[in-house]
Chain A
Amino acid sequence: MPEIAPAATPERPSAAVLGRRADDQPESPNGTRRKLGLLFWLCLGFIALVVFGAIFANVLPLPNPNLQNYSAVDAGPSLHHLLGTDDLGRDLLSRIVFGSRVSLVVGFGGIAIGLAIGGTLGLLAGYKGGAVDTVLNGASFVILAFPPLLAIIVVVAFWGRSLGKLTLIIGIASIPSLFRVIRATTMSYANREFVVAARAMGASTRRILLRELLPNVAPAALSFALIGVALIVVLEGSLAFLGLSVALPTPSWGNIIYEGASNNLLQTDPLIALWPALAMFLLLTSLNVVGDRLRARFDVREGAL
């Protein structure tokens, strides 16, 4: 437009922006493509490996995890049994790979339930405020006031301990904390001018939640969710120690550690408990690193002024 074209002449793009924008990466969404680093890829690789193993456990060349081979009891690592066998002669690698299914389903499934319910309510409460927020927030406090482990133990003991029930119970238990994190993050965006502008344009609540708020809340939610998965994997271990994880012949990481710690096996064959504990340790570290790096990567720098 000729009459206002002069106005288009350069407005000082602030020095900070200029300094940070890499010209060789014009597609860079934030102008700052932070390197994720080798550690991130290693950790992501490990998570991928565990997930791959859990999905294809049946197809992989592994012995039956419950097959008791009395000719190789308490065997150390060998070509035949890469991680050795336990006191009943069951292959430990196979038990760990099959056992990861329980940890992953409980972990990711539980968080998925928590995010679906807690996240949705958190967005709503954080945006709407007022009575909706007061009621939901109060309810979350009431649930949080229960010691979660105790609550889970009681429910599992009475209701049964199949994988599905375990996942559902842990998922429900994770709702209030996910609710609170997402509510708080949403609140920090709910009164920004771009949300007010969307309202002024006549956007529906649903649209504001999905298009304006969710993209801003998602990175924090994702990072917290990954840490939540890690917490649940540990929780499964705790439940197994109390004999409340999935019923026993079925391997789970918690169950294997539990078995490896019983019958004085820690003294005679500490490897049985070590391998699943190591797998758990690596998975938790990986989840934390990946969550943390992703959050840092997707953090938008807003300060152009």
Chain B
Amino acid sequence: MSEQALLSVENLVVDYGRRHRRVQAVSGVSFAVPERQTLGLVGESGSGKSTTGRCVSFVQRPTGGTVRFAGTDLSTLPARELRRARTKLQMVFQDPISSLNPRRKVIDIVAEPLAIWGGVNRKEMMRRAADMLEAVGMDPAVTGNRRPGELSGGQCQRISVARALMLEPALLVCDEPVSALDVSVQAQILNLLTDLKERYGLTMLFIAHDLAVVKATSDRVAVMYLGKLCELGPVEDLYLSPQHPYSAALVDAVPVPDPRRPVAGPPLSGDMPSPADPPSGCRFRTRCPFAQDICAIEEPPLEEIAPGHLVACHFPTSSR
């Protein structure tokens, strides 16, 4: 898999803060995304999923580890080539309002990537921006001359997507693109992203804290907890038989619209420990209902328990 992977992340580490108050947001995360696939990245707030996404799209430099895009480690490129190369990695952000410059017209925001790279005259820029607005389901004649403050969150998010696609990226990192939207609008944006993925042959890293959202978009899912991966597998396997107790709790927490369905075990209690002072051994043990002595001593490695399904747990569901 790693050979044709468009994106491969190896042992990614990100530290925040100065020497004495150091916090490790991401501690040794590895995964790969093959071309034209979507990897969902889930976890609760503070689990390091956004930081991972920012490193992948080179908005932020990791402290350690490598991010390979189409086989090359972009951090080794000279500044000029990096600037050109990173256009192939675009991002869609969580906050639809903050994602767009409030002072600029929608059409100019969408045309900006072309303006940065030049080579096309203004008329052509406007035409391509208008086409892209149409592709994301907006009417350029109506919205083109508006400013972001006049639009709804869903509309703003469509514009963010349009802007991200202008440079014909190969990889789109979506950092919780629908978390700030109404549920009805969420579905529209998810459908839009799925359609565009097909149309433009995109590879996606889809970050979310809502498993249902990830299920709708992803081929594979990675579950993060406190800066580490606990489980990585095809989306059906993860939903039907989650192996890590944390994934299992997340899957159980997805509401099912069936009143006769039995309640699946007690929900997790407690909060995530501070990443400044992570627990020894397995990071999930403080909240794990199955934790044993060994969990405090030895950190479980991420191991393949079925083809393409990796778990970091001493007592995965199938072995209990």
Across-interface contacts of A305 in B (CB, < 8 A)? 96-97, 152-153, 180
CB-nearest residue of chain A relative to B166?
A201
Given contacts A11-B188, A305-B153, contact A29 B147 (CB under 8 A): yes
B111 CB to nearest A CB, Å: 11
Given contacts A4-B192, A11-B152, A192-B98, contact A30 B147 (CB under 8 A): yes
Chain A stretch 185-202: residues in CB contact (< 8 A) with chain B: 192-194, 196-202
Across-interface contacts of B95 in A (CB, < 8 A)? 193
Given contacts A31-B150, A305-B153, contact A197 B93 (CB under 8 A): yes
Given contacts A7-B137, A13-B155, A207-B116, contact A202 B101 (CB under 8 A): no
A267 contacts the other chain (Cβ, under 8 Å)?
A: no
Across-interface contacts of A21 in B (CB, < 8 A)? 150
- Whether B149 and A300, one on each chain, are in contact in the complex, defined by CB atoms closer than 8 angstroms, is yes
B51 contacts the other chain (Cβ, under 8 Å)?
A: no
Across-interface contacts of A202 in B (CB, < 8 A)? 83-84, 86-87, 116-117
B102 contacts the other chain (Cβ, under 8 Å)?
A: yes
B191 contacts the other chain (Cβ, under 8 Å)?
A: yes
- Whether B97 and A304, one on each chain, are in contact in the complex, defined by CB atoms closer than 8 angstroms, is yes
B58 CB to nearest A CB, Å: 7
- Whether B117 and A215, one on each chain, are in contact in the complex, defined by CB atoms closer than 8 angstroms, is no
A203 contacts the other chain (Cβ, under 8 Å)?
A: yes
B104 contacts the other chain (Cβ, under 8 Å)?
A: yes
CB-nearest residue of chain A relative to B155?
A11
- Whether B101 and A212, one on each chain, are in contact in the complex, defined by CB atoms closer than 8 angstroms, is yes
A24 contacts the other chain (Cβ, under 8 Å)?
A: no
Question: Within the assembled complex, what's the spacing in Å between the Cα atoms of A197 and B98?
Answer: 10
- Interface code A42-62, partner B: CB below 8 Å = 1, 0 otherwise? 000000000000000000000
- Whether A304 and B156, one on each chain, are in contact in the complex, defined by CB atoms closer than 8 angstroms, is yes
Chain A stretch 21-74: residues in CB contact (< 8 A) with chain B: 21, 27, 29-31
A80 contacts the other chain (Cβ, under 8 Å)?
A: no
A142 contacts the other chain (Cβ, under 8 Å)?
A: no
A14 contacts the other chain (Cβ, under 8 Å)?
A: yes
- Whether B58 and A304, one on each chain, are in contact in the complex, defined by CB atoms closer than 8 angstroms, is no
A145 contacts the other chain (Cβ, under 8 Å)?
A: no
Pick from A7, A8, A203, A303: contact of B97, CB under 8 Å:
A303
- Whether B59 and A304, one on each chain, are in contact in the complex, defined by CB atoms closer than 8 angstroms, is no
B167 contacts the other chain (Cβ, under 8 Å)?
A: yes
B29 contacts the other chain (Cβ, under 8 Å)?
A: no
Question: Within the assembled complex, what's the spacing in Å between the Cα atoms of A196 and B149?
Answer: 19
Question: Within the assembled complex, what's the spacing in Å between the Cα atoms of A300 and B97?
Answer: 12
Pick from A30, A196, A300: contact of B59, CB under 8 Å:
A196
Pick from B58, B94, B163, B188: contact of A197, CB under 8 Å:
B163
Question: Within the assembled complex, what's the spacing in Å between the Cα atoms of A196 and B58?
Answer: 10
Across-interface contacts of A216 in B (CB, < 8 A)? 101-103
B278 contacts the other chain (Cβ, under 8 Å)?
A: no
B304 CB to nearest A CB, Å: 33
- Whether B137 and A8, one on each chain, are in contact in the complex, defined by CB atoms closer than 8 angstroms, is yes
B8 contacts the other chain (Cβ, under 8 Å)?
A: no
Size band of the A side of the interface? 35 or more
B257 CB to nearest A CB, Å: 23
CB-nearest residue of chain B relative to A298?
B103
CB-nearest residue of chain B relative to A3?
B195
Across-interface contacts of A194 in B (CB, < 8 A)? 98-101, 109
CB-nearest residue of chain A relative to B96?
A305
A130 CB to nearest B CB, Å: 13
Across-interface contacts of B154 in A (CB, < 8 A)? 11-12
CB-nearest residue of chain A relative to B134?
A1
Chain A stretch 96-126: residues in CB contact (< 8 A) with chain B: none
B135 contacts the other chain (Cβ, under 8 Å)?
A: yes
Across-interface contacts of A193 in B (CB, < 8 A)? 93-95, 98-99
B288 contacts the other chain (Cβ, under 8 Å)?
A: no
B113 contacts the other chain (Cβ, under 8 Å)?
A: yes
- Whether A201 and B151, one on each chain, are in contact in the complex, defined by CB atoms closer than 8 angstroms, is no
A223 CB to nearest B CB, Å: 16
Given contacts A1-B134, A193-B95, A202-B116, contact A304 B153 (CB under 8 A): yes
Across-interface contacts of A29 in B (CB, < 8 A)? 147
Question: Within the assembled complex, what's the spacing in Å between the Cα atoms of A216 and B94?
Answer: 21
Given contacts A3-B195, A8-B139, A215-B103, contact A14 B152 (CB under 8 A): yes
Given contacts A17-B150, A201-B167, 8 further A-B contacts (CB under 8 A): A1-B135, A7-B192, A12-B184, A17-B149, A193-B94, A215-B103, A304-B152, A304-B153
25 residue pairs bridging A and B, Cβ less than 8 Å apart = A4-B136, A4-B192, A7-B137, A11-B153, A11-B154, A12-B154, A13-B151, A14-B153, A17-B152, A21-B150, A29-B147, A30-B147, A192-B98, A193-B98, A197-B91, A197-B160, A202-B116, A203-B112, A207-B116, A211-B104, A212-B101, A301-B149, A302-B97, A303-B97, A304-B152
Closest 7 A-B residue pairs measured CB to CB? A8-B137, A11-B154, A215-B103, A193-B93, A193-B99, A300-B102, A31-B150
- Enumerate chain B interface residues (CB-CB to A < 8 A): 57-59, 83-84, 86-87, 89-91, 93-104, 109, 112-113, 116-117, 134-139, 145, 147-156, 160, 163-164, 167, 180, 182, 184-185, 188, 191-192, 195
